[in-house]
Amino acid sequence: MKLAYWQYAGPAHIGTLRVASSFKNIHAMMHGPLGDDYFNVMRSMLERERDFTPVTASIVDRHVLARGSQEKVVQNMRRKKDEEKTDLLILTPTCTSSILQEDLHHFVERLSDKTPALLADVNHYRINELQAADKTLEQIVRFALESSFGKNLELLDKEKLNKQKATQKPSVNIIGTFTLGFHNHHDCKELRSLFYDLGIEINEIIPEGATLSSLKNLPHAWFNLVPYRETGLMTAQYLKEKCDMPFVSIAPFGLLETKKCLEQIQNILNSEQYKSTELRRQERFDFSDYIQYQSKFVSQSAWFSRSIDCQNLTGKQAVVFGDATHAAGMTKLLVKEMGIHVICAGTYCKHDGDWFREQVQSYCDQILITDDHTQVNKRITDLQPAAIFGTQMERHIGKKLGIPCGVISAPVHIQNFSLGYRPFLGYEGTNNIADLVYNTFTLGMEDHLLEIFGGHDVTFRETNITSKESENTSNIDDLSRLEQSKANIEQSEYRDKFVWTNEALTELKKIPGFVRQRVKKNTEKFAEKNNYTSITLDLMFQAKEQLSSKSL
């Protein structure tokens, strides 16, 4: 537990509530003080759904502290069971109420004799929101399957698990799309379309929109897809262990990773495990023609990577930071598909740090694994990339530094819940990412055009003329006074710490406005490093040569 100005992943109970509220007819009871009950407001504001959030707060107040909370919690859960007619109640404390060391297992046992109930089995002191979401989803799936088939699933006859399969066609469970996820709704729609084209039926999508009773159908699918490592991996591993179900955890992020994902699915469908099915006796699955067609004609990313617009981005430097799935996917896409130089790739998922290092170590200069936003801020400030691809926090950092930023990962903002269709996965996702990359790098060009052609958004304002300057130039016409004042302001702007010669200032003014400030910073950093106080034209060229040699 710690207090922070910014957290990339929230406390554990938020992850539990996100998963529970994604199901239908599952109600969550949060046991905590006022101040921990912001989830309902956050979800209703961001998701903008028609239904009420199925989460109730049982508030810990002074009365509870005086006589205990058992009766209050149990009464609240029974009342919600009667009001909502739920299939399952989930009780979760918060990190604050966990300090009370109450026997919440006993609370649930008192209730579960008549009402199915679970206590969220997470350590609120040791894990964060994403880890808790992953664990809670696995716990709910385990509860549903054990309720339907018994606790020793591995001892059951596989025919009993599969006897209700509706079709012999291949089918898939999509695991891990849930509420408040980063473009999860759009990604899920794109994955549905992709599997429809491949002739693979959707068996179940969990937890978003699923019910407790529908979870017993999970073993009927041929395989599971986990598009996001952060939530769903534990469930897929549990189904692999208990039901012998293979799973794919490669996120179809970009053309090359989508190809790898589909090839792994193809190998599963052609494996010995499904050799006896009626469909396998008729044909062998081959997705190569589909991959080639989608890459050439549906996705515009391959064409765009060969266009002059993308060629102009070759060698540009970028920093990538986000959750493990999106940050790793974006790093590989930028380097392998667009020729962009990633000088630093990072993630705040410290628990998945080993996997992240393995994925990106060949594609970037530096790796940063931290959940401290000040370290990310310092690294970006030191590196001064041409663009950032990160979370909302990196967008704020970029604003402060004058560096454009494209948001590619949670934490989410209202702008990440667009009404339009903006997936990040699959072939349509490649088009959205290509637009994001191009628009992020070219951000600032409009300022350059305004500076060249003039416009309403020019940076200089006549109100900057001081009264003293007006008195000294009283005999000069209005246009001359304006130009003189503008020159004085530019002189003061570039002479805060160093003395710029007239030749150097003249050369600096020739540089387009959208990169002028960065050139000034790099030149002054070079001068400070080499103990120069006066910046000459020759020194500017030396700084430029050193920067160019580093980027090669």
Q: Which residues are annotated as a binding site for [4Fe-4S] cluster?
A: 36
Rounded Cα–Cα distance for residues 206 and 213 (Å): 12
For residues 422 and 430, what is the distance between their CA atoms, to the nearest angstrom?
Answer: 10
DSSP class per residue in 404-421: -EEE-SSSP-GGGS-SS-
| Cα(280)–Cα(269) distance, integer angstroms | 9
**Tokens 């000459």 — which residue?**
536
Catalytic residue among 309, 372, 457, 478: 309
Helices (H) and strands (E) in the chain, counts: 25, 15
- Binding site residue list for substrate: 444-445
C-alpha–C-alpha distance, residues 345 and 383, integer Å: 12
Which residues fall within 8 angstroms of residue 475, CB to CB, at 6 or more apart? none
CB atoms within 10 A of CB 82: 9
Q: Which amino acid is at 369?
A: I
Q: Which amino acid makes up residue 189? A: K
What is the distance between the alpha carbons of residues 523 and 116, in angstroms, rounded to a whole number?
67
Cβ–Cβ < 8 Å for 326, 408: yes
As a whole number of angstroms, the distance between CA 502 and CA 515 comes to 20
Angle value at C-alpha 236, between 235 and 238, nearest 5 degrees: 65
Vertex 320: Cα angle to 319 and 326 (nearest 5): 170
- 37 included as an active-site residue: no
Q: Which two tokens stand for residue 3?
A: 């207090």
Q: What is the CA radius of gyration of the chain?
A: 29
The CA-atom distances, in angstroms, between 469 and each of 159, 462, 496 are 91, 12, 20
Q: Which residues are part of the catalytic machinery?
A: 309
